[in-house]
Each structure stands twice: as structure tokens, then as C-alpha cells.
Amino acid sequence: MNVSQSAAGAATGGPGRAPADQVAVRRANLVRVLGVVRSAGPLSRAAAARHAGLTRATVSSLVAELIGRGLLRETGFQQDGTVGRPGRRLEIDGRAVSALGLEVNSRYLAAWSTDLAGRTRHERRVVHDATREGAERTIRALAGIAAELLGEARAAGVRTAGIGVAVPGPVDTDGGTVRAAPNLGWRDVPAARLLRELLGLPDGTTVAVDNEANLAALAECGRAGAGAADLVYVTGEEGIGAGIVVNGGLLRGAGGFSGELGHLQVDPAGGTCACGRTGCLETKVGLTAAIRIAAPDLAAGGAASRDPRELAGELLRRATEGDPRALAGLDEIGRWLGIGLAVPVNLLNPEVIVLGGYFAAVAPYLLPAAMRELRERAVAGDAAVSRVTGSALGFSAAVRGAAGVIVEEVFADPTRLMPAVTGDG
């Protein structure tokens, strides 16, 4: 029985129930048709009806509504079978609807917006010392970037469906509150509320705040190079964290605070971490540690104020040119990274581990030592050792994942967008 068939039964459920059920059924059918076009399009209305298991009349009505909401468009013609007139092709439109992703990092702020077909609209990245500036000034600066991009979208006639925000630390995703971000010095910061107030957003506009590694993991999950149903994404920035995908969905834990890989103790005699504990993985493989070990002259030259992408590029340049200090330092970092990666490998047995941030840039010089250590520590032997790869998105993974959350919200409920044009639907 398809969704439209179940509507008839719902409509007989008693006084006061049928209208609500009919709305729910129509919403489900909108999602179904939109999903078919997204996965199999471009295709004709007749083909969409077959894929969705709905009647052509039902699909025509649904398509008209989705076109009105700016989510589908008809382009050209294609022959559907060997006889009859060719049909107009349906494809995802979304040019007039965008999603905005924002990211707070200890050294920079970033923004990235996309339309619903995945086309990049705008990108911004500014050096910003969030640790020194504090939560209030940082969120004000982030709101300033967001306001600029929202204004540009409005001027172009584009509606912004919502805003996703990536932050480096555990987040209460229900309330959009950053519970703890050691490298920022933040605790219990109501980021979603502050952004909403600063931007004057209406209540219906989503502001979704989440951990940067979680959002980066979602961005990486469907990519051809790393796509897997079971994946661990490991950030490689000032802080180290992990986003865990199991069976295609995020593994958040009971309170939503999973993935703090960087704060596992790997060296009881090690240095003090930003979290206040001793010998955390982050103190061995974070970007500050990498500069200290592999390029100490950069540490003495004010590296803390430089963009991490620039520092990653300098590490790569030195390693490529055969600098002995850089090569030895990256080998040492790779060894500690392998020790850390053995934890998710033995605990979760993921299909692939994706290394993000600066790890991705210098992966060829980290992976030999990391894989040696990982193989020695994999309890089940080589069969349990995950594929380890550098991120294709690099430092942009988290902000792209933040925008992606909003895109998925729209595809999960197209009715959250008001129709872009009037009509009889």
C-alpha cells in the first residue's frame, strides 16, 4: 500500500481527524516526489509517478506545489518510452532557496552558503582569535558575516531556509547551547539564541548549532571518496574531535556529547591540555603541537595569529622539500595519531576514518607512522584496520556540513518553505 492509498483510510478516521491526516499524507508525498527527483532525476512526471508509486494525477498536483515552493523546475523534454509525446523533465531547482553554514574556530570564522542543488553561492573566511575575543564579541562578529550574506541573498531574491553553526566542543543541540569549548574558553554559551537576536530572525527560521566534527562527518559521509555507512571523521585543528557515523546516522550518545577523541589521555606524563587534564591526544597532535614539533621557528614567529590553512600549507611545503625537522616531526605526530585512532577502530570498527583540517594537507607524511601504530594496536588484526584517508573538503568540511543540515531539513519537509509564487496548487 502506498502513501496515497493510506490517505483514504486516514480520511475515515473520525470527525476532526481527516484534515490533519490529509495534510500529513500530502507532506509525506511531497517528500517522496522530491526525493525521487533528487536521487533519480532529471525525469518526466510519468517516470516520477512510477518511482514514487503514486498516480500521475497525484504527482502532477504535488509537482505543481513543489515548483511553486521553488524546489523543482521543468526543463526541456525527454521521451518516456518508445511511444507518445515526450514529457518535460523535472529536476531540483532550489536556485531561489539557500542554506547558510557558519563556523567558529579558535583562529577563524567561516561562512558558506549553498542553494538546494548543492551549488556554492557565497564563501567567507576571516582570521579571528575567538579565544582572546570571547564569546560575545565572537558571536557578534559571526552575526556580522551572516548579516552580510543574508542581505546579499535577499537582494538576489533568494530565501534563506535556515542557518547551521559549527563550533569546536560539546553542544546541547536542542537548545543550541555550547556546553564546553576548551580551546575557546566557552562554557554554557547560548549561541543559537544570541545569533537569532542579533540577526532579528523570525521564529520559523532554523538556527541549528552542533559540534564541528559531527557536521564535518555528515559532509564527508556521502562523498564518493569517503562515502560509507560507518565512518569516523577526525578533526585536525587546534582541537581534536571526532564525528561518528553509524549506519548512515550520527552517533551522538545519551546526552549528545560523544566524539571527544582529543581529550583521551595517551600520555600520563604529558603536558597540560586546554581542558585542564594531562596528556590528552590533543596535546600530541593538535595544530599547536604540530608547529612546535615540526616547525618550531613558526611557533616563535607568532603562528597563533595565522590562518590554520596557511600553517598547514607551510608544513606541507617543508615536508615536500625534504626538511628533516618537518619530516621527523610529522612522523612523530603520525605515531601519536595512530595511537589515538586505535580507540575508535577497536571500539567501533568503522569502515573508513577521514582525517580533516591540517591532517588532510599533510596526510602522506602522517599516514605511514599512523598506520604502523594502528596495525600494532588493532586487537582483531589487519582485518579490523579501517581505511584511513585525508578529507577532500579540508578545512571547509564543518561549515559545509552546517549548511547541509539546513538543506536536509528542507528535503525532509518541503512545507516549511512558503510558496514562492501564488497559484491554485
Q: Is residue 424 part of a domain?
A: no
- Are 292 and 347 part of one and the same domain? yes
pTM of this structure: 0.88
Q: Is residue 199 part of a domain?
A: yes
- Are 228 and 368 part of one and the same domain? yes
Which residue reads 502532477 in cell numbers?
60
Domain boundary among 75, 93, 111: 93
Q: Is residue 418 part of a domain?
A: no
pLDDT tens column, 313-325: 999 999 999 999 9
pLDDT of residue 227: 56
- Are 379 and 230 part of one and the same domain? yes
- Are 205 and 106 part of one and the same domain? yes
pLDDT tens column, 394-408: 999 999 999 999 999
Number of structural domains found in the chain: 3
- Are 130 and 8 part of one and the same domain? no
- Are 85 and 187 part of one and the same domain? no
Does 7 score more than 70 pLDDT? no
Q: Is residue 154 part of a domain?
A: yes
Check which CATH number belongs to the domain holding 370 and give it: 3.30.420.40
- Are 249 and 381 part of one and the same domain? yes
Domain boundary among 74, 93, 112: 93
CA pair distance 128, 140, nearest whole angstrom? 12
pLDDT tens column, 10-48: 444 445 555 668 889 999 999 999 999 999 979 999 999
- Are 385 and 258 part of one and the same domain? yes
- Are 387 and 404 part of one and the same domain? no
Sequence-separated (6 or more) residues with CB below 8 Å from residue 333: 284, 285, 289, 290, 293, 294, 366, 369
- Are 106 and 21 part of one and the same domain? no
**Which set of grid coordinates corresponds to residue 341?**
585512532
Which pLDDT band holds residue 224 (cuts at 50, 70, 90)? very low
Strands across the sheet containing 242-246: 249-250, 242-246, 231-234, 352-355, 387-390
- Are 199 and 267 part of one and the same domain? no
User: Domain containing 87: what range?
Assistant: 3-93
For residues 34 and 84, the model is more confident at 34
